[in-house]
Amino acid sequence: LGYDQASVQSRSISARSSSRVSESPDYGGWEPHKEVADSLVPTRQAEASRAIVGGTTIAENYAFVGVHHIFDQHTAAVTMVKFAHNDRSRLCCASNDGTVSICNVTSRPPSVDCILTGHKKAVTGCDWSAANDLMVTCSLDATLCLWDVGSQSCLRTVKDQMSAELLACLFQPANNNMVIAGNSRGMVQVLNVSTGIYPRGGSSKLGGRVLSLACDASGQLLWAGNDKGTIMSFMFDLETGRLSKGRRLVVGDQCVVTSISWRAWISREARDPTLLVNCANNSVCLFRVMDREGGLQLKRKLSVRHKNSRFLIRSTFCPIMSFRQGACIVTGSEDSSVYFLDIERESKAVVNKLQGHACPVLGVSFNYDESLLATSDYQGLVIIWSRERS
């Protein structure tokens, strides 16, 4: 599977223009603005792109007001929700009740397709494979499970090398035989889920409790965040699974980093690779990726109610926002609301606020065409919101 195919399969529509690391004869550095000929370049003249999203404002485009459905199959907090790649319908929900559910949100009525049982404690992370045929989950029971989505069966269970609680997991986007996991003893680890083996050189210590992970589309850059306020970048060797430490950034002293997302570019005005980060210091931050080692520079810091570190509040980029004027993200909050924020506004960044949850909102996920938004909360409720139709 080639690079372009893999990135298209495993990323939503706006990531299809994934920035490349380019080399030129006279300069061997990182060139985030340089685009190769076959990539999709956002411009102000992008008429076809504007046709996709219409000529309305960001606030009008994100007027999600209707509750499409409410799922209540879980008995404890749903800490993560994820729509399948390039899929309008299938949603995965990971819960502290020890189970993972897969829902069909567009069936009539919307339904729970299956509940995956096997973990003995809270499920802390989940991820879809590029083709959506496999799923990986991790848990406080110190195991990582690989599931066959079609047969709803567990193909493999692997114990953490240190028997430590697993807090985050991610498929390697360029090679779905590899999974990256973070544990409670500060380790970032690579696992070959086809063999159940941790490759030599595939473990590296960040420290603290590793709560969040994100990769770029090439799979060669990885970022991990912990409960001490540190984000560390790693270079990933695709052939061997070896990790090499890159750049270290301290977001804030003892500031829990609960969510990291990567995007190749976020709007016509902001064409650099970007990280979106939630921190338990009442903020959601955007960082520009500065170099081939994953160095970060703070670009924007927005206020969101998030102080209690036990609430693992997450955020997401809007899948097709890069064709509009402005750029929007969605984040959960401790105040029970869901916020749409225009990250390019100097003031009054909130463009929409959804109220329907009765406790802190933790997980957020768009389906790929932005027709539906899923949000989850600390009591286990999952709300599917529909876009306002004119």
Q: Is 13 helix (H, G, I), strand (E, B) or coil?
A: helix
The residue type found at 350 is V
| Number of Cα atoms under 13 Å in the Cβ half of residue 43 | 8
| Residues 326-340, mean pLDDT to the nearest whole number | 94
Q: Where are the alpha helices (DSSP H) in the chain?
A: 3-10, 47-53, 58-61
Pair 213, 180: CB distance under 8 Å: yes
**pLDDT at 351 exceeding the cut of 70:** yes
Each residue of 146-159: pLDDT tens digit? 999 999 999 999 99
Q: In what order do the strands lie in the sheet with 203-205?
A: 166-171, 178-183, 187-192, 203-205
User: Sorting pLDDT into bands at 50, 70 and 90, what band is 22?
Assistant: very low
**pLDDT at 329 exceeding the cut of 90:** yes
Choose the weakest-confidence range: 1-15, 227-241, 374-388: 1-15
**pLDDT at 23 exceeding the cut of 50:** no
Pair 115, 158: CB distance under 8 Å: no
DSSP state of 17: G
Quick one: which of 264, 237, 260 has its CA closest to 249?
260
Pull the structure tokens for residue 362.
């933790």
Residue 168, class by beta-carbon neighbours within 10 Å (0-12 exposed, 13-18 middle, 19+ buried)?
buried
Strands 143-148, 153-159: pairing is: antiparallel
- Please, which residues have CB within 8 angstroms of residue 147's CB and are 6 or more apart in sequence? 100, 116, 134, 135, 136, 137, 153, 154, 155
Residue 97 region, left (φ>0) first, then alpha (ψ -120 to 50), else beta? alpha
Total residues found in the chain within this entry: 390
| Residues 292-310, mean pLDDT to the nearest whole number | 95
Quick one: which of 144, 149, 4, 64 has its CA closest to 375?
64
Which pLDDT does position 345 carry in this prediction? Answer: 81
Each residue of 60-100: pLDDT tens digit? 777 777 899 999 999 999 999 999 999 999 999 999 999 99
Which pLDDT does position 270 carry in this prediction? Answer: 62
Each residue of 8-21: pLDDT tens digit? 233 222 332 222 22
- Which domains, ranges and CATH numbers included, belong to the chain? 3-17+46-387 (2.130.10.10)
pTM (two decimals) = 0.85
Which pLDDT does position 319 carry in this prediction? Answer: 84
Which pLDDT does position 60 carry in this prediction? Answer: 75
User: Sorting pLDDT into bands at 50, 70 and 90, what band is 384?
Assistant: very high
Pair 238, 229: CB distance under 8 Å: no
